[in-house]
């Protein structure tokens, strides 16, 4: 979390989702609980180190919940908190805009 005050609500929101992988992690957790390995498969290209770091930051911001089960071998699952669900819903229109943008780019380049 930042120490300085936010300029507006968007500034506060972007601070939480800043980085290449956080929105993809939120997307992956949108409808399901996931173990770490599942998340790695759902977010191709992310390294183990970066995924761990991003999950810790999302957990610190109250977006992701980490559930540790007392079993052998150890089991850990990640899920969205209520605040995370709200953020995921808020990101929906941005994702829809992105799909429209992708379609325009495909038409412009003749890849559609």
26-45 residues labelled b (16+ CB within 10 A) or e (exposed): bebbeeeebeeeebbeebee
Q: How far apart are CA 89 and CA 3, in angstroms?
A: 27
pLDDT digits (tens, 9 = 90+) for 68-78: 999 998 899 99
At a CB cut-off of 8 Å and minimum separation 6, what does 33 contact? Answer: 67, 77, 78, 79
Q: HSE (CB half, 13 Å, CA atoms) of 77? A: 10
Residue 102 tokens read as 């992708």
Global pTM value:
0.86
Q: How far apart are CA 86 and CA 94, in angstroms?
A: 14
pLDDT, tens digit only, all 112 positions of the chain:
556 688 888 888 999 999 889 999 999 999 899 999 999 999 999 999 999 999 999 999 999 999 999 999 889 999 999 999 999 999 999 999 999 999 999 888 876 5
């Amino acid at each position: 979390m930042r120490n300085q005050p936010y300029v507006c609500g968007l500034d506060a929101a972007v601070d939480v989702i800043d980085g290449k992988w956080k929105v993809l992690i939120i997307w992956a957790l949108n409808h399901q609980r996931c173990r770490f390995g599942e998340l790695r498969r759902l977010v191709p290209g992310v390294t183990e180190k970066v995924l761990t770091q991003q999950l810790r930051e999302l957990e610190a911001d109250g977006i992701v919940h980490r559930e540790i089960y007392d079993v052998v071998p150890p089991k850990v699952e990640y899920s969205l908190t209520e605040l995370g669900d709200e953020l995921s819903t808020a990101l929906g229109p941005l994702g829809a805009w992105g799909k429209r943008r992708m379609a325009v780019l495909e038409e412009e380049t003749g890849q559609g």
